Amino acid sequence: MNDQSYPNPLFPGPTWTSHQFIDDVVMDDQLKHHLSMAYYGMSDLGEVLEVARTIRLHDEESWVTSWSTMAQRLQDRAEESEQRGHVVSAGDQYLRASTYWRASLMHFTEPEDPRTREYALTAYECYDKYLELSGYPGERLEIPYEDSTLPAYLYRSPHAGEKAPLIIFHQGRDAWPEDTRWVYDNAIRRGYHCLAVQCPGQGLALRVNNLAFRYDWENVVTPIVDVAVGLPGVDPERIALMGLSFGGYLAPRAAVFEKRIKLLIADPGVLDWGGSIRANLGAELSAAFDAGPEAYNAASAAAQKASPLHSWGIRDFLWKHGAATPYELTVELDKCDLTDIADQIECPTLIMDGVTELFSTGEGQKLYEALTCEKEYLVFDESTTAQLHCQNGANATAAEYMYAWIDGRL
């Protein structure tokens, strides 16, 4: 029941984050992520809330259907606007359509469903149309990676000098880098080039190229840096790397080994991803893991039956990490641990965190304490309104604080 000390019963706590649009912690976080993009014209408030109205709790099918219906509506309008010569409107509509196509797949764990590939490709057909019609300074790249490629977009700043810094960034387990416009748009405005990459386990790299996550992320970032240092207009001595969400483990892991990275941002920082996941699973499942694969897989099956959120999480993790069973998955996640190597990071490092971080609570502080390089721990409290995971709902604030740290260091 709402505490009467709070004037608006729709906000049953002391901050705006107490309001939930969906009674599922992950779905609600993802919805707020898409609401945040309205600041940059990548979504619109009414469109996102209309989608939220039609999503059923713990129902992946309603998620993918609701978002894709809105995406198709915007794409149809964009095509009509383009045919009529309304180029500015068409560009805006293609941009929002691309957001909603990507959103439809953010909480959808069916790799064999044809919509997974189709909607991913359609998202980028719309995004490329937006770039073409709007003149926004982005160009598609394909970065060679083993026997495949990593889809990427290079955003060149018109304010950059002859040789300018470059920020390489990637997302984590769920979001897409194109949706993280607060990073690349603010880089462009400040004279930095930005390279946004869809890495293994993410975006098209997962859904089209069938590339799963790996714990040894230096083997992902080094091929990216190999390309980056040769890009015209990029100063190879001023390259930064940023990782968000699960990327708060991945990017620091890469920086341990890839010394061409001169600046590192982890949002939020993660020292021990596997340990963090185990902590969220609880003591009973941890005990079952110690009993061996058969006991653990059985205990995981029971937990999935009891909790729709847990069931979704296991399906999502298994697919993205390329594991066959929960036990194999946990073994793989346990490798995501920087405890013994974090002190080998040499470049100045910014750890971003929030006081209501839900998904890797306490890990940012642990990583900060393990670092021996120049470092800063930036914690967003309630007064900033940016206290959620990856500053959802407060991207403008996140950019202002982050670039205040970057400026003068890169």
pLDDT at 278: 84
Residues 98-120: tens digit of each pLDDT: 999 999 999 999 999 999 999 99
The answer to whether the pTM exceeds 0.85 is yes
Q: Does domain 140-272+336-410 correspond to CATH entry 3.40.50.2300?
A: no
- The pair of structure tokens assigned to 73 is 């509506």
- Whether residue 23 is predicted with pLDDT greater than 80 in this model: the reply is yes
In whole angstroms, give the CA distance from residue 200 to residue 390: 20
Q: What is the CA radius of gyration of the chain?
A: 21
Q: Give mean pLDDT, residues 380-390.
A: 96
Q: To 10 degrees, the CA torsion angle through 249, 254, 259, 261?
A: -70
Q: Does domain 22-136 correspond to CATH entry 1.10.260.40?
A: no
Residue 49: pLDDT band by 50, 70, 90 thresholds?
A: very high
Exposed, middle or buried: residue 122 (CB in 10 Å: 0-12, 13-18, 19+)? Answer: buried
Residue 280: pLDDT band by 50, 70, 90 thresholds?
A: confident
pLDDT at 134: 98
pLDDT at 38: 96
- Whether residue 212 is predicted with pLDDT greater than 90 in this model: the reply is yes
Backbone angles phi, psi at 239, to 5 degrees: -115, 125
pLDDT at 4: 65
What DSSP line would sit under 291-326, residue for residue? T-HHHHHHHHHHHHHH-HHHHHHHHHHHHHHT-SSH
Domains of the chain: which residue ranges? 22-136, 140-272+336-410, 274-334
pLDDT at 3: 53
Asked if 285 contacts 333 with a C-beta cutoff of 8 angstroms, the reply is no
**Average pLDDT for the chain:** 96
Residues 84-96: tens digit of each pLDDT: 999 999 999 999 9
In whole angstroms, give the CA distance from residue 125 to residue 259: 35
CA distances for 44 relative to 88, 106, 132, 233, 396, angstroms = 16, 18, 21, 35, 16
The side-by-side arrangement of strands in the sheet containing 375-380 is 138-145, 148-155, 193-197, 164-170, 234-244, 263-267, 349-354, 375-380
pLDDT at 1: 45
Question: Three-state SS for 194?
Answer: strand
Q: Give mean pLDDT, residues 10-18.
A: 93
